[in-house]
Structure 1
Amino acid sequence: MLLVLALYLAAYVLCASALWFWRVNRRSERPPATPTLLRGPGESLRWRLQKLDDALLRHVFAAAFLPMTVFLGGLMLALQLDGRARDATFAAAFLLFLGTLFLTGRWMMQKITLRRDCHLGLLGEKIVAENLAPLVAAGCRVFHDVPAGAFNLDHVVVGPTGVFAIETKTRRAGRALANRRPDEIVFDGDQLIFPWGNDTFGLDQARQRAAWLGQWIRTAAGETVPPFAILTFPGWNVASAAASDVHVLGTAEIPPFVRRAPVTLNHAQIETIARQLEHRCRDVEF
């Protein structure tokens, strides 16, 4: 019986491995022409999700069969012993099975949670991109997921009224405290007041991303244009109670904010900056 189970596990491993390699190899198929495309909203998250999905079969297999493999190995060892040694080995195998089951279950839950978070972040990026699309008609150029070495800029808008670096943070709603709206974030100029508490989530990051973008534009395009730092939370109502160098806005408020800013760039400057951004963002293979 144990031999049959062992053979079954070996056959399952071989079939699962063959299926995984077949899927990966199919991804390498390409048409004759392979143009590079501009990065879409949440491109980095999309790639991360794809890698998680590619590894999902291996994760499920490990979580499902590793505990049983450990138990069967201990059971086979126990059957070769006698008396108390057999009982002790069997008990140890069962405890090891429970421990392995707990660890693999927790590990699998971490992978599932990571995938859910990536999917939520990708959805938030798409929501912001959809709200930014009408700015193109106003003479703006919009770029998404701009690579910047160890990090990326979620969205960059270049238009007559300047350059805007937009940081997107997609957060799930939590339990609201008394006298706080469950769907509103209030910015008091120093910190963000969420329904469940206060923190500075995303403020420093938005500020640093905008500073990096300004430095890069000076180097790559030869233009001194301090970008506006914008922090937005898709799906949330945002109320700003004080001015700050970081503009915390609702997603739908970004286009009006861009249009209201004073005109600072001419057409030639817009095209120069946009050309450098396009070169940086055109790296998605077919």
Structure 2
Amino acid sequence: MVWFLAKTAPQTRLDVGLALAGTITVALLVVTGAWILRSLRNIGNHCLGYFGERVVAEALEPLLSRGYRVFHDVPMEGRNWRANIDHVVVGPTGIVVVETKAIRKRRGLPGRKEQVLDCSGPLLRWPWGDGRVGLEQSVRNAEWLRKWIRERLAANVPVSSVLTFPGWYIEPPDNRHSIIPTTWLADRIPRLGESKLSEEQIDLIARQLDSLCRDVED
């Protein structure tokens, strides 16, 4: 390129230089624009996820007056440092893991209701398609917590799992996937516990969870 510019007339060298500069500028703008759009999309997803978890946390608050302890963003030891359980409820009827998925609404397929999540089949039926988002994760997190409690307290306490999608209508509300409408959580969770816990057991488990959360915060 340098040899070519040296052999060409000044005006030609200027034209080539301007064209080259323009090409480089356009390429930089494209790359920068793509990076900005990707960053904005990630920020939007994080904000949506945070908002969804706050909505669920507020929906769980009524349980506090009924003898339940509620923990949020419980870190999972031995996993990637980003891994955590969205909500853990400990109370007289047992332990329940609540996984929150904030899913942005999109244009649906013909014949499907725009704001309804159909949970009647083996797959989750969204307006735009079918999938299994969150199903395995909620069960996996509950199993991890059960094993963690067994290792810490030498107690084999069952842990139930619940999945909730803030802002979505769930059909049917009683389904095989244990997906509960967010506004129903405080009413339904006490019915899900697979064990009866005494005040002493609740306090012991709650102190372990509280210690786990504080260790990460420190």
The yes-or-no answer on 1:136 pairing with 2:68 is no
Contact 1:214–1:226 under 8 Å retained in 2: yes
Runs of 4+ in 1 over 3 A off after TM superposition: 240-244
Q: How many equivalent residue pairs? A: 206
Distance 1:224 1:90 in 2: 73
The aligned runs of 1:7-26 (5 Å cut-off) are: none
Aligned partners of 1:132 and 1:254 also within 8 Å: yes
Secondary structure at the counterpart of residue 179 of structure 2 = strand
Separation in 1, partners of 2:190, 2:142? 19
After superposing the two structures, state which structure 1 stretch, 254-263 or 200-209, moved more.
Answer: 254-263
1:239–1:249 contact (8 Å) kept in structure 2: no
Amino acid at match of 1:105: G
Deviation at 1:192, TM superposition (A): 0.6
Using the size of structure 1 for normalisation, the TM-score is 0.68
Give the alignment of 1:149-168 within 5 angstroms: 149-150=79-80, 151-168=83-100
* Cα contact 1:189–1:242 (8 A) shared by 2: no
Asked if 2 retains the 8 angstrom alpha-carbon contact of 1:188 and 1:241, the reply is no
AA aligned to 2:36 is M
Cα distance, 1:253 vs structure 2: 1.6
Does residue 183 of the first structure (1) align with residue 111 of the second (2)? no
What is residue 12 of structure 2 aligned with on the other side? 84
Partner Cα distance (2:166, 2:124) in 1: 15
Q: TM-score, normalised by structure 2?
A: 0.88
Look up the equivalent residue of 2:182 and give its one-letter code.
T
Q: Could you tell me which of 172, 178, 182 is aligned with 1:247?
A: 178
Partners of 2:173 and 2:102 in 1: CA distance: 21
Which of 43, 51, 62 lines up with 1:115 in the alignment?
A: 43
Q: In structure 1, what is the Cα distance between the partners aligned to 2:208 and 2:171?
A: 34
8 Å CA contact 2:86–2:99 kept in 1: the answer is yes
**Alpha-carbon distance change, 241 to 284 in structure 1, aligned in 2, over 3 angstroms:** closer
Shift of residue 90, structure 1, vs aligned partner: 1.7
Is the Cα–Cα contact under 8 Å of residues 240 and 249 in structure 1 kept in the other structure? no
Structure 1 residues 216 and 240 mapped into 2: Cα distance closer, same or farther (>3 Å)?
Answer: farther
Of 126, 130, 137, the residue aligned with 1:205 is 137
Q: Structure 1: which 5+ residue stretches go unaligned?
A: 1-80
Q: Which runs of 5+ in 2 are unaligned?
A: 1-8
Bigger helix share: 1
